[in-house]
Amino acid sequence: MKHAVILLALLAAVSASADGIPKPTTAGLHLVSVHDRDNHRWNNDNPGAYARWDSGFIAGTYRNSLRNQTVYAGWSIADDKDRFALMIGVFTGYAKFTKVVTKDTIQCDSPSGYCIRTRTTYEQESILTLGIVPSVRIGLGGIGLDDTSMRLSAVLPPKSAKALHLSVERGF
């Protein structure tokens, strides 16, 4: 339900036409990713949607590599032709894992009749992540789609697998 509300809010923002309310100039769909290692571990199907305004503000949502829903907002800085861009924003849906070691005393076949059992678990804590995402736009005008482009983004977290992400976008 939460994801449906987010998607409806994005669609409403894209279709807003009231005077004085800035309309987005680009709408896009998140598609897929390819990771640099452990590809079997990660979710490579990343459906989602985003909108970008002339001011550079960008907001969107997608299913991330951890199979969680991500909602993000930030600013995109691009060259004059919007070919190369750098997005700086905050992202939800990622987690920090904390190692927790517990020790229990259990009965066993030792001389004392007791042993210490050690268990290691990981607690997951949702965090708000700051991200910097460079991208390049690949125009599709050569095949008759003048206002439509593919965007290839590099996701470069410092301590995890890196990914190339593909989206399609249309300017209005």
Domains with residue ranges and CATH for the chain: 2-171 (2.40.160)
Q: Which two tokens stand for residue 21?
A: 């309310």
Given this model, what pLDDT does residue 129 score? Answer: 86
Higher pLDDT, 141 or 3: 141
* Mean pLDDT (the chain, rounded): 85
How far apart CA 98 and CA 123 sit, in angstroms, is 5
pLDDT at 37: 86
pLDDT of the residue at 71: 95
**List of residues 6+ apart from 158 with CB closer than 8 A:** none
Q: What is the pLDDT of residue 161?
A: 83
- 128-152 mean pLDDT: 89
Which residues fall within 8 angstroms of residue 60, CB to CB, at 6 or more apart?
10, 28, 30, 48, 49, 50, 51, 71, 72
3-state secondary structure of 135: strand
Q: Distance (Å, rounded) from C-alpha 112 to C-alpha 154?
A: 58
What is the reported pLDDT for 142? Answer: 78
pLDDT on residue 143: 78
pLDDT of residue 132: 93
Over residues 44-51, mean pLDDT: 96
Question: Could you read off the pLDDT of 50-103 as tens digits, one per residue?
Answer: 999 999 999 999 999 989 999 999 999 999 888 999 999 999 988 776 777 888
Looking at the predicted structure, is the pLDDT value of residue 13 above 60? no
The answer to whether residue 48 scores a pLDDT higher than 90 is yes
DSSP 9: H
Mean pLDDT, residues 111-133: 80
